[in-house]
Amino acid sequence: MNDGSPHELSAAYALDALDGDELRAYESHLAGCDRCREDVASFRETAAALAYDIQPLEPPEELERRILKAARAERPNVVPLRQRWAIPSAALGAVAAVAAIAVGVWAIHLSNSLDNERTQNRSQNAIVAILSDCTMTPATGASARVCIAPTRKAVLTVDNLEPAGPGKTYEAWVIAGKRVEPAGLFPGGAGRTYLRLTKSVPAVATVAVTREKAGGVAAPTGGILISAKVKPT
């Protein structure tokens, strides 16, 4: 390795020990040198390891707030959602969309209290987990579908259902043979509702929705508004 070789500079570059003309010259060399880029990448790992030989220090408390505030100001495109569970419909479906759903869901935190946040976050993570790997069954009666994970946990997705109204709620049911079990409540309304069913869905079953009095009931009294017949895959 002779002194004039630009390859040798990969180490100094990774240590940020080049400046001015040297730096510019090396960077233009780097642009056309695959081997150098590899060298720099691995030397960067080595250089970063040096940071661990330093006493870590707690930064002043306001720093995190300041960073988050600045970050927010740079990305005004994180739109807080108006409504619980309402998620842009473009976000549904493939595994690839799950992270986007997660972002939508987490955006809710910006405008909610801490306690709500805690429980919401937990169920939202569960919903995202189910939607990331599930089999979809379309429903009749409304724009709705059930997606069932291999664990048999399921999420019911309903679009733009007329609000259940005062003193009323929608209630989901898992029906298997003669067993009819309540599986969760939701208010309906504009936008998309994601409901994580509180009961697992067997291989042969029907997921149904009725309208009931607020607070829900133990056995359905209203007519079936939405129904999805689940078959073994």
Partner 1 sequence: MRGRRGRSEPTARELAHLSDEAVLALIARSDEQALSELYRRFSRLAYGLAFRILRDDALAQDAVQEAFLGVWRAAGRFTAERAKPSTWLLTLVHRRAVDLVRREERRRTEQLQPDSESIGSEGPDELELLSERQSIREALRKLPPEQREAIELAYYGGYTQSELAERLGQPLGTIKSRMFTGLARLRETLEESAVGQTSSS
- Listed residue (120, 94, 135, 90) closest to 230, CA to CA: 135
Minimum gap (Å) between residue 23 Cβ and partner 1? 9
Shortest Å distance, C-beta 59 to partner 1:
4
Q: Closest CB to partner 1 among 71 and 94?
A: 71
Q: Which member of 29, 30, 33, 106 binds partner 1 (CB under 8 A)?
A: 106
CB of residue 200 vs partner 1: minimum separation in angstroms? 23
* Positions in 10-39 near partner 1 (CB under 8 A): 10-12, 14-19, 22
Q: How far apart are CA 87 and CA 218, in angstroms?
A: 29
Beta-bridge mates of residue 213: 168
| Residue 108: strand, helix, or coil | helix
User: Under the criterion CB under 8 A, does residue 99 sit at the interface with partner 1?
Assistant: yes
DSSP 140: B
What DSSP state is assigned to residue 151?
T
94 forms part of the interface with partner 1 (CB under 8 A): no
Among 24, 118, 179, 213, interactor with partner 1 by CB under 8 A: 118
Nearest to 140 by CA among 219, 70, 224: 224
Task: Give 8 or 162: the residue with its C-beta nearer to partner 1.
Answer: 8
Q: Which of these segments, 64-72, 158-166, 197-205, 210-218, binds partner 1 (CB under 8 A)?
A: 64-72
Q: 128: Cβ–Cβ under 8 A, 6 or more apart, which residues?
A: 98, 101, 102, 105
